Structure 1
Amino acid sequence: MPTTVTSTGAPVNASWEDLVSSAVLGTDRRPLRTEEGAAVSPSALLDAAAAHTVRRRAALRPAVGATLPAPAPADLRPPLPDAARRRLAQLLADRSAQPGGGRRGSAPDLTELIPQWLASAGAHGYRAPAELLPALLDAARARTDLRPHVLAFAGPRGLWLASLNPEWRFALRASSRDARRPDTSDPAAVRRLWQEGLFAERVALLGALRGKDPGRARSLLVSTWSSERAEDRLMFLDSLRSGLSADDETFLEEALADRSRNVRATAAELLSSLPGSALARRMADRATSCVNPDRTGGTVSVAVEAPHECDPAMQRDGVVPVPPSGRGERSWWLGQLVEATPLGVWRERFGGRAAHELVALPVADGWAGELHAAWCRAAVRQRDPDWARALLGAPSTPPANGPGTASLAERSKLLASLPPSERALWVAGFIAAHGLSEAFQLLGVCSVPWDAPLGRSVVDALDIARDAGSYPWSFSGVMGLAERCLNPAEADRLAVLTTTPDEPEGASPGAGGYWSEAFQRLVSTLRLRAAMDAELSQGGAG
């Protein structure tokens, strides 16, 4: 037991535990004593504790230092311009601010501009500032929609930093497939990963091979097809959409006999996308036995006789026998047959008529809706712009009276088959004729930034709604799209809309003020986007 000499010169023979007990209970109840047996004072206790502490620390052995991580890899991309770096810091700082809720006000929503900023910075090929990598990874952890852009922008240093923090492990998972994917030119490495890799790695490998050598990817899949799980076979089969060709037909025909219904359905869908496939011919034979020209009257019309049964051969070719609730069996079967039939068949069947002429023909016995809806699905599947135009019709025509379908979801899919400029022009015409209430889905398939006719059409429709005294929050979704998708060059032209209008009789109380704020926010956001683009275009800075 160590002996400590106090400042009074009296030696105290006590352990650390004795000192603690006396300090806690008090020197009156648990006194410390010198070697001669005399009680020591409280100050002597503190002297002894201080001396004991120094003795204990001096006797400690130094701990082994932690192993330093490997240095961060180099990122040779050019640095951001100074102004762009400051802008990114501002966007990320605003992301972490607490939402205010309630009225949005006239200030731009910076968090909604982060994806656009990241995409632009990536297009310029800049590297992320090292000091902002933690904030970028935090943003990507909170918002999955940011992850692809953040990880591309953060580059190798971002992955290095993510490896040091468990909260950022998502970045390692997202990049693991590329990191472990072998060189597809090495057959042994490809075979090894295909046989031993994780499912996600195998899907990525198949996709990489499919892009370079579709036949080799198909052969790899065939080699283990019979031993794969049903859900895995479905995902692997879906990868054949890339580079689909007649060379895949034999394999897909065999997949029509798969024990999984979902695999059979996907194989049938892929085969029907090949106009020259045997399945497409079989479906065409069935469909043309149901849909034919009727020349009994003075003009040609379309006669329809839906199938009376769904035989095993139809089911093998992907026709689902049991319809959804509320659908009749015969119309359900007919729609599937027409959807899987190559659209060129109908031109031949109806005397060389073009798509818009076929769609305009009268259809007997109330089958027009079912037939046109099936043609819409076929046009989307086969990505046929002529049929898409015909089924969309004139944008000024009310959806319920149009040649194709009144479904806005189906119309959006048809629009995706058209060139971007034509798509934007059609949606602009639709908005001019019908307003914004049904246009949100259609706007979602238009390229960004919106072409000038589409942008003007959206703004004009918003202005009309404002003049009518409508609730501005009824158009908040479209206004949000406009902030992100309008061409920033439109900002000055829209400044006139930021004033508070006189409220017409019967208008929603206070609507004018809300509209003024909404347009102020729109103009401010467009100017901010223009500034962001200019900052990113300045060239690298030190």
Structure 2
Amino acid sequence: MQLWTDIVSNALLGTDKQAPVTAGWPEDFTTALTHINGNTAIDKEEKFLQLAALAFNYRQSGSLPLHKEDAGIPTASEEIRPGCSMAAIQAFNDVVAEDNEGLLQLWLECCAASQQIAHPYMLPALLDKAISQKALRPLVESCAGERGKWLAQFNPDWKMPAAVSLEEQWQTGTLAQRKAALAQLSETDPAAARAWLQQTWPQENANARADLLSSLRPIVFAEDSSWLEVLLNEKSVKVKEVVMHLLRMQPGSSIVKLYWQVAQQAISIKKEKALLGLSSKTTLQVKLPDTVDENIFKYGIERLSSNKKIPDEAYIVEQLVQAVPPHLWENHLQETPEKIITLFTEHSAGGRLYAALESAASKFRNAQWAKLLVAEGNRFYYPLVYALEPAEREPYIIRSLTKTPEDVMTYLRQEVEGEWSLPLTRAVLEYACKSPYSYNRLFFSKRAHQLPVEILASLDSISPQRPEQHVNDAWNDIRAHIKKLLVLKQQIINAFQ
């Protein structure tokens, strides 16, 4: 179109060098051209702009867009799961308004468990949450449905990674992804996880070997630690450290057997005559042999104590007690576990030896010894929780709230993820209400999903009963906040029933 070419040329040269285009216009534009050119109230630049606007609209009139097959945005696949109810939508809105991550996770878990999906208008908020709270991403992907997958393609931050099998993730993923795949497989099939790593071991570099091996729990090698024994010959110091750590957790490993050879030489019992020789007394004798196998220091036992109050020899013995399964002492000392614990406690280094037994019982998951140790101990040693039988864990935690409450509260904050039982919740609240400035609204907001809704029935009966009115007032405010959170939690549960 020559007219438009002339207009563009006029714009490039300027109206001082080239007068506005008047030729080449169709006859139908005569009236408009006469009106623009005859208008003395505007300058030549304004006339040019009006002519250019007229030419542009003329050029665009009647034009058709380019045709391209399959152009446009594909529609989302049809949903196969039903959308959530209005009650669930309202509960979601309330959770978002409360900005409570734990309750949002509960909402997503309930939605996924009920095989439902989120309402379309909820998707942007859900996908945004998956950006800031990556732990929620799998649940968000499940609850977003097909429309969520479709919508995510329009925002790079929302983009959902393509679903891949664990084996594909192991074969083609980054080191971090491979570690995650290996760790996940080891939870369900330890033998297969071990086989995966053995197959690729020759191709891995030293750093990858150490990282991948460290992602496996000791239980993976519980049935067969022979491969770990071979890996003790690795050149990489980093790899050897990981290997030694795993072998120290295997009761039948060569390292633990080496420790036991020295430990049983260092500890024995002696029967002495009591007063007037009428009875005998059994005491624990602790002394390293004159010649100690130097390999124990090569495989993790520290030779020197960092505490000036603890002699090097005593420090070595304590490490050895920590490093061997506690049940071995029964046959060696020919005594019951109860008697052995008493003998260790009565020794001059009893406190440290008792702590070493606690460490050993937790490391080797000895439920019998763990039960005896928690009954006798005066502190809360949380690794023992995992060695206890499930039915014995909570009573130990609740008992410890009266002995070392802050240790228990730290454990609950850092280690416990699921919902607390009603007795545990009541015990925690009865302790926390006395320190409302430490255990404030934020503390309970972070644990709203862990509080059972049944505690609502007795929440009003929990009070600090302190003379300071400000403490009572602070707790009343926190209690009201807890009630609000529990009502919201109940709302979520009811919405998916």
TM-score by length of 1: 0.73
CA contact (8 A) 1:307 1:333 kept: no
- Give the match for residue 89 of structure 2: 85
512, 531, 536: which is aligned to 2:491?
531
1:396-435 aligned within 5 A: 402=377, 406=379, 408=380, 411-431=381-401, 433-434=402-403
Q: Quote the Cα distance in structure 2 between the aligned partners of 1:315 and 1:76.
A: 62
Matched letter for residue 207 of structure 2: E
Shift of 1:139: 0.6
- CA shift digits 1:481-531 (9 cap, x unpaired): 664433211213223569xx9973xx37x4333221111111222222222
Task: Judge which range, 416-425 or 41-50, deviates more.
Answer: 41-50
CA contact (8 A) 2:10 2:21 kept: no
- Give the match for residue 230 of structure 2: 254
Where structure 2 has 5 or more consecutive residues not aligned to the other structure, the ranges are 24-33, 274-279
Shift of 1:84: 1.2
Structure 1 residues 341 and 496: alpha-carbon distance in aligned structure 2, compared to 1, 3 A threshold: closer
Q: Quote the Cα distance in structure 1 between the aligned partners of 2:290 and 2:346.
A: 18
- Give the match for residue 80 of structure 2: 76
Structure 1 residues 258 and 328: alpha-carbon distance in aligned structure 2, compared to 1, 3 A threshold: farther
Q: For residue 224 of structure 2, give the secondary structure of its aligned residue in structure 1.
A: helix
Task: Judge which range, 205-214 or 241-250, deviates more.
Answer: 205-214
Q: Quote the Cα distance in structure 1 between the aligned partners of 2:3 and 2:343.
A: 112
Matched letter for residue 322 of structure 2: E
Structure 1 residues 197 and 22: alpha-carbon distance in aligned structure 2, compared to 1, 3 A threshold: closer
Structure 1 residues 79 and 158: alpha-carbon distance in aligned structure 2, compared to 1, 3 A threshold: same
Structure 1 residues 181 and 223: alpha-carbon distance in aligned structure 2, compared to 1, 3 A threshold: closer
Task: Judge which range, 381-390 or 295-304, deviates more.
Answer: 295-304
Counting matched residue pairs gives 471
Q: Quote the Cα distance in structure 2 between the aligned partners of 1:116 and 1:514.
A: 28
Residue 271 of structure 1 pairs with residue 247 of structure 2: yes
- Give the match for residue 28 of structure 2: none
Q: Quote the Cα distance in structure 2 between the aligned partners of 1:166 and 1:291.
A: 64
44, 53, 58: which is aligned to 2:56?
53
7, 17, 23: which is aligned to 1:15?
7
339, 356, 367: which is aligned to 2:349?
367
1:306-385 aligned within 5 A: 306=288, 313-319=295-301, 329-354=312-337, 356-362=338-344, 366-385=348-367
Residue 167 of structure 1 pairs with residue 157 of structure 2: yes
CA contact (8 A) 2:103 2:448 kept: no
Aligned-CA RMSD value: 4.1
CA contact (8 A) 1:301 1:363 kept: no
CA contact (8 A) 1:284 1:341 kept: yes
Task: Judge which range, 373-382 or 261-270, deviates more.
Answer: 261-270
Q: Quote the Cα distance in structure 2 between the aligned partners of 1:151 and 1:308.
A: 64
Matched letter for residue 487 of structure 1: P
Shift of 1:179: 0.9
Q: Quote the Cα distance in structure 1 between the aligned partners of 2:290 and 2:240.
A: 23
CA contact (8 A) 1:264 1:316 kept: no
Shift of 1:254: 0.9
Shift of 1:345: 0.4
Residue 131 of structure 1 pairs with residue 121 of structure 2: yes
460, 475, 487: which is aligned to 2:452?
487
CA contact (8 A) 1:304 1:363 kept: no
Matched letter for residue 480 of structure 2: Q
Structure 1 residues 152 and 338: alpha-carbon distance in aligned structure 2, compared to 1, 3 A threshold: farther
Residue 388 of structure 1 pairs with residue 392 of structure 2: no
Q: Quote the Cα distance in structure 1 between the aligned partners of 2:103 and 2:418.
A: 13
Shift of 1:200: 4.2
Matched letter for residue 92 of structure 1: V
Structure 1 residues 166 and 274: alpha-carbon distance in aligned structure 2, compared to 1, 3 A threshold: same
- Give the match for residue 456 of structure 1: 426
Structure 1 residues 14 and 148: alpha-carbon distance in aligned structure 2, compared to 1, 3 A threshold: closer
Where structure 1 has 5 or more consecutive residues not aligned to the other structure, the ranges are 5-12, 96-109, 183-189, 395-401, 466-470, 538-542
207, 231, 238: which is aligned to 1:231?
207
Residue 153 of structure 1 pairs with residue 113 of structure 2: no
Q: For residue 49 of structure 1, give the secondary structure of its aligned residue in structure 2.
A: helix
Q: Quote the Cα distance in structure 1 between the aligned partners of 2:399 and 2:387.
A: 17
TM-score by length of 2: 0.78
CA contact (8 A) 1:249 1:277 kept: yes
